[in-house]
Structure 1
């Protein structure tokens, strides 16, 4: 595939004091976006598009590898610590297509010996033979979009599977050789009661996933639900669900390590931990975002052409834009990720990943500590329980 390689001009912030060169570069991950779904869900604000009967697999894999070629300069000899296939529904792609893609990626950037490779999948797309083939490719983690096991709730969410298919998907994942998989589950669904929410959670726990992403449905702009809001539970019910659900997860050995992520021991998602600790990631595919550090101290966010037809158009650039983060933006950018972690991060990581002195956080940190939103712990940057609940308020303390 021939693609216009003229990159969009880098969008710079205002004049700023140069940062120190980074002592060493962060771990590097790769996000691969596959934008097609069987059907667009009414709550979804991701860059996803209803698939045609025949997907342009070969053309899209060619484009992904050409896109990666243009970002190889930012790898700086590093190896990939993780790969995440997100969507859309990546499990719509054949094992043949994903195999060619993974071989192409590995030929360009070496894989860490213990690389984590995650594929998002939906129960309505599960085929045993296909998932056995995925596992043989080296994909070693699945993230299965269940959302609910209850038919009424699944229909309200526009999902294409039923509760039995959701249970069967987890069983099929294990039979295919996946001993590490996540279940995505929502709460705060239309007309959901406390008993409904806990019933879903108990069913998910019974399937023995290594990881659970359990998060509240929110109404996002540019979605059907935003324009036609369903009847959601009252705030008191939402609070009861949150408290009871967290207690149930802890009782069954799922430790909360991020706002909406719970894992069995040593099963936290390494790809997402890299995001939250301000690691680097290359993003390829329609609408994919990346964050890349350079040895001279520059940190640049990138985003790719969003519409699949434009991404596949040889006359258009893969990269839609890029922005170098300024000294004023970095505190917020770093903490927006790090403070999602329930344990926070070692305070030394701030200077290591941003090139700025830890003292640049002092004013906002004092304010956050005095407001009870941030822990008074010099060696760590961590939110209090209250800070986790009011994370947006906490982050406002660090806006310039």
Structure 2
């Protein structure tokens, strides 16, 4: 869902300011109809498999009405069936939730929320260009729980411009106290083609960043959260959708700028959809662009780049299942890294030491 009320200065996602400040009912329906037509063109890539998870990202997906999502899910299930307990996650912005109660999204079939809080601190929210307040964020988490959502992820960033250790830890504390069952906690990075890249805000010193990381992790562990992926902490089951990414699974992709991956007889392919919403809507179904086969020599790195983000890694046999390659194509590198105590002996997984040097470790598979 590619629209936002306004673009944040750190954001390099495919998001665009909503036309005339609000999403009209006619534009919403036009876009949802285009998504359905897009989906119809991808049925052959599903190869008989049911949909086991859906992640609605953006942009700000909570700009779309609950009734719109209910209609969309009905249409999609008529094309490819959903599994009985299909996980459907909606990314929601605390600043755009007031127009529709959480109960309506739950009734529409959405059973997991990912609330884009980023920070509870008013000064940091202003610097980040967010349109919500700290109280909005607390209220959104509280209301989602009252509505009946059992699974609520809170997105938080740390290492914000001029952020102190105490401020970063307070953000975590507030998320936990409000009842988050899953926390995506990641460090702000300055990406090209963003306002922050051009203005270069003052970021915390490296010593402060290290202290935030170490003390933040210790705090989350003390509160019963499990760090199952580099930036993901859970009290409930993992995000099924993200787990599929990290385990190098296949995924379809509909919507402006969406990226997908599928496996067929002659190999593994990635693809992208037309990026700009106006172009996406100008041609229905929208074009598939950048459809490319992943070359066999690139598969070891692609697979390991995802799998080693998981703290528990994956079973050895998943490598062949997902890439189609013999394990011998990586066995020497794995054995070397095991001898260096950077990888575990019985799984494709990093040791604690290996996680500290993950980027260097991955270079072994290039």
What TM-score comes out, normalization by structure 1 length?
Answer: 0.88
Compared with structure 1, are the counterparts of its residues 60 and 248 closer, same or farther at alpha carbon in structure 2 (3 Å cutoff)?
A: same
Between 1 and 2, higher relative CO (CA 8 Å, sep ≥ 6) is seen in: 1
1:322 alignment partner in structure 2:
291
Runs of 4+ that moved beyond 3 A: 366-373
Q: Which has the higher helix share?
A: 2
Residue 395 (str. 1) matches residue 362 (str. 2)? yes
Q: In structure 2, how many angstroms separate the alpha carbons of the residues matched to 1:197 and 1:171? A: 21
Residue 137 (str. 1) matches residue 108 (str. 2)? yes
In the TM superposition, what whole-angstrom CA distance separates every residue of 1:74-131 from its partner, at most 9, and x where no partner exists?
1111111100100000000011211111111111111111110000001001127432
Query: Does the CA-based 8 Å contact 1:184-1:212 persist in structure 2?
Result: yes
1:180 alignment partner in structure 2:
151
CA RMSD of aligned residues (A): 1.4
Q: In structure 2, how many angstroms separate the alpha carbons of the residues matched to 1:129 and 1:225? A: 32
Question: Residue 373 of structure 1: CA displacement?
Answer: 3.2
Query: Does the CA-based 8 Å contact 2:23-2:63 persist in structure 1?
Result: no
Give the match's secondary structure for 1:374. Answer: coil
Q: In structure 1, how many angstroms separate the alpha carbons of the residues matched to 2:304 and 2:349? A: 9
Q: Which runs of 5+ in 1 are unaligned?
A: 1-33
2:256 alignment partner in structure 1:
286
Q: In structure 2, how many angstroms separate the alpha carbons of the residues matched to 1:314 and 1:291? A: 22
Residue 168 (str. 1) matches residue 139 (str. 2)? yes
In the TM superposition, what whole-angstrom CA distance separates every residue of 1:140-199 from its partner, at most 9, and x where no partner exists?
000000000010110111100010000000011112221111000111011111111111
**Which segment is superposed worse, 381-390 or 325-334?**
381-390
Compared with structure 1, are the counterparts of its residues 128 and 304 closer, same or farther at alpha carbon in structure 2 (3 Å cutoff)?
A: closer
Residue 41 (str. 1) matches residue 8 (str. 2)? yes
Given candidates 112, 136, 152, the residue that maps to 2:83 is 112
2:244 alignment partner in structure 1:
274
Query: Does the CA-based 8 Å contact 2:56-2:89 persist in structure 1?
Result: yes
Query: Does the CA-based 8 Å contact 2:270-2:293 persist in structure 1?
Result: yes
Q: In structure 2, how many angstroms separate the alpha carbons of the residues matched to 1:105 and 1:315? A: 16
In the TM superposition, what whole-angstrom CA distance separates every residue of 1:246-287 from its partner, at most 9, and x where no partner exists?
0100010110000000001x4211110011011110011111
**Which segment is superposed worse, 269-278 or 388-397?**
388-397
2:63 alignment partner in structure 1:
92
Question: Residue 364 of structure 1: CA displacement?
Answer: 2.5
1:353 alignment partner in structure 2:
322
Compared with structure 1, are the counterparts of its residues 370 and 225 closer, same or farther at alpha carbon in structure 2 (3 Å cutoff)?
A: farther
Compared with structure 1, are the counterparts of its residues 35 and 128 closer, same or farther at alpha carbon in structure 2 (3 Å cutoff)?
A: closer
Query: Does the CA-based 8 Å contact 1:186-1:217 persist in structure 2?
Result: yes
Pairing 1:180-329 to 2, within 5 Å after superposition: 180-264=151-235, 266-294=236-264, 296-314=265-283, 317-329=286-298
Given candidates 281, 293, 302, the residue that maps to 1:333 is 302
Q: In structure 2, how many angstroms separate the alpha carbons of the residues matched to 1:233 and 1:75? A: 45
1:7 alignment partner in structure 2:
none
Q: In structure 2, how many angstroms separate the alpha carbons of the residues matched to 1:226 and 1:241? A: 23
Query: Does the CA-based 8 Å contact 1:210-1:267 persist in structure 2?
Result: no
Query: Does the CA-based 8 Å contact 2:257-2:273 persist in structure 1?
Result: yes
In the TM superposition, what whole-angstrom CA distance separates every residue of 1:190-233 from its partner, at most 9, and x where no partner exists?
11111111111111110111100011001111111111111111
Query: Does the CA-based 8 Å contact 1:367-1:397 persist in structure 2?
Result: no
Q: In structure 2, how many angstroms separate the alpha carbons of the residues matched to 1:389 and 1:44? A: 26
Q: In structure 1, how many angstroms separate the alpha carbons of the residues matched to 2:106 and 2:260? A: 26
**Which segment is superposed worse, 67-76 or 312-321?**
312-321
Tell me the matched-pair count. Answer: 362
Given candidates 155, 172, 175, the residue that maps to 2:126 is 155
What TM-score comes out, normalization by structure 2 length?
Answer: 0.96
Q: In structure 2, how many angstroms separate the alpha carbons of the residues matched to 1:287 and 1:54? A: 19
Q: In structure 2, how many angstroms separate the alpha carbons of the residues matched to 1:35 and 1:317? A: 14
Pairing 1:71-90 to 2, within 5 Å after superposition: 71-90=42-61
In the TM superposition, what whole-angstrom CA distance separates every residue of 1:39-62 from its partner, at most 9, and x where no partner exists?
111001110001113341111111
Query: Does the CA-based 8 Å contact 1:310-1:316 persist in structure 2?
Result: no
